[in-house]
Structure 1
Amino acid sequence: MRNIAKGVAVLALVSSSAAFAEGGYWGAVGGIMDIDLPNADSPLNLGLRGGYILPSGWGFELEYTNSLISGQADVFANDVDVDVQTMAGYATYRSYGDVYFKGRLGVLYEDVSVGASSSDDTGVSLGAGIGFNYGPNTNIELEYTVIEEDIAFWSGTMTLHF
């Protein structure tokens, strides 16, 4: 009987937390661009994110990030700055609940600068994370996004819904 009561309580909690913030949102994103380079420190990126969530949980978002604090790389015994700038558009999906899972897939433009050298590329980007409904109009999301095969973005985002 006790297990049934626990099951009913969990079901009631999940059902009550099915309220979902749909509509437009914008927010700030910040995190570490984890670069897979030997003898390199990762830059700290900050940016803006905006999007729209449909009642089904599907949506889209646009994101721009740029290095606030440059990483460092050892190139021919010299320390040089490492910076990453990104602009992306994603299709997203969020599960329902006060704690939810998020997935995103999209197209990303990146510009990576190492010292005086710079390289840019456009490609597919994929990410996943977990989110928390902090309030009726505020969400916090923690994500891992693959920028390219040797760059990943570990980020946190705070969004405000309107």
Structure 2
Amino acid sequence: MHNLAKGAATLALAFSAGASAQDTYWGGTIGLMDIDMRNADSPVNLGLRGGLTLPSGWGFEAEYTNSLISGEADAFSGDADVDIQTLAGYGTYRSYGNIYFKGRLGLLYEDVDVGGFSEDDTGVSLGGGVGFDFGPNTNVELEYTMIEEDVGFWSGTMTLNF
């Protein structure tokens, strides 16, 4: 037990020392969950994003989104609302400069609800985009993220760096 406590303290010290040499950010994202399905309109999702970027450009990011405006799908009994909720963790890379490129790869949990019928899934998610540095604390990013084979997320994100 004593060795476990010393190991945890060492990891906490190493993480706090590294935290001063990285950018931590929080922000909001909004975008279209583009569903590749006939007779279906895509929902608009709103979400929260947080992460950290190391001096090397590599980093970590977490994101949660939920449908702000439901999409619609033609169903046997008429139109059905389509809602998508996601929770993901990504490894990221950002290039340097006031205009930069960003890529991310990670694991994603999604819950898709169509007319009250809900199904969830977990899988790999991949995304990329371009970012704009509007000052020392504000970035705007435009991205495309593949949620699954037939769902993509076209999003705009504003983050504040700390």
Smaller-chain TM-score bracket: 0.7 to 0.9
- Counterparts of residues 1-162 of structure 1 (less than 5 Å): 22-76=22-76, 78-162=78-162
C-alpha deviation, 1:77, in angstroms? 5.3
Aligned to 1:9: none
Summarize deviations over 1:42-83 as a string: whole Å, max 9, x none.
Answer: 000000000000000000000000000000011115011000
Aligned to 2:14: none
CA–CA separation in structure 1 for the residues paired with 2:119 and 2:142: 28
CA–CA separation in structure 1 for the residues paired with 2:23 and 2:97: 16
**Alignment TM-score, normalising by the size of structure 2:** 0.86
CA–CA separation in structure 1 for the residues paired with 2:28 and 2:140: 10
CA–CA separation in structure 2 for the residues paired with 1:154 and 1:22: 27
Q: Aligned partner of 2:23: which letter?
A: G
Query: What do you get for the CA RMSD once the two structures are aligned?
Result: 1.1
Aligned to 2:17: none
CA–CA separation in structure 1 for the residues paired with 2:131 and 2:103: 10
Q: Aligned partner of 1:45: which letter?
A: N
Q: Aligned partner of 1:136: which letter?
A: P
CA–CA separation in structure 2 for the residues paired with 1:22 and 1:72: 42
Q: Unaligned 5+ residue runs, structure 2?
A: 1-20
Summarize deviations over 1:105-149 as a string: whole Å, max 9, x none.
Answer: 000000000002111000000000000001110000000000000
Q: Aligned partner of 1:123: which letter?
A: G
Moved more, 43-52 or 76-85: 76-85
Identity over aligned pairs, percent: 74
In the alignment of these two chains, the number of paired residues is 142
Q: Aligned partner of 2:47: which letter?
A: G
Q: Aligned partner of 1:148: which letter?
A: E
CA–CA separation in structure 2 for the residues paired with 1:124 and 1:29: 20
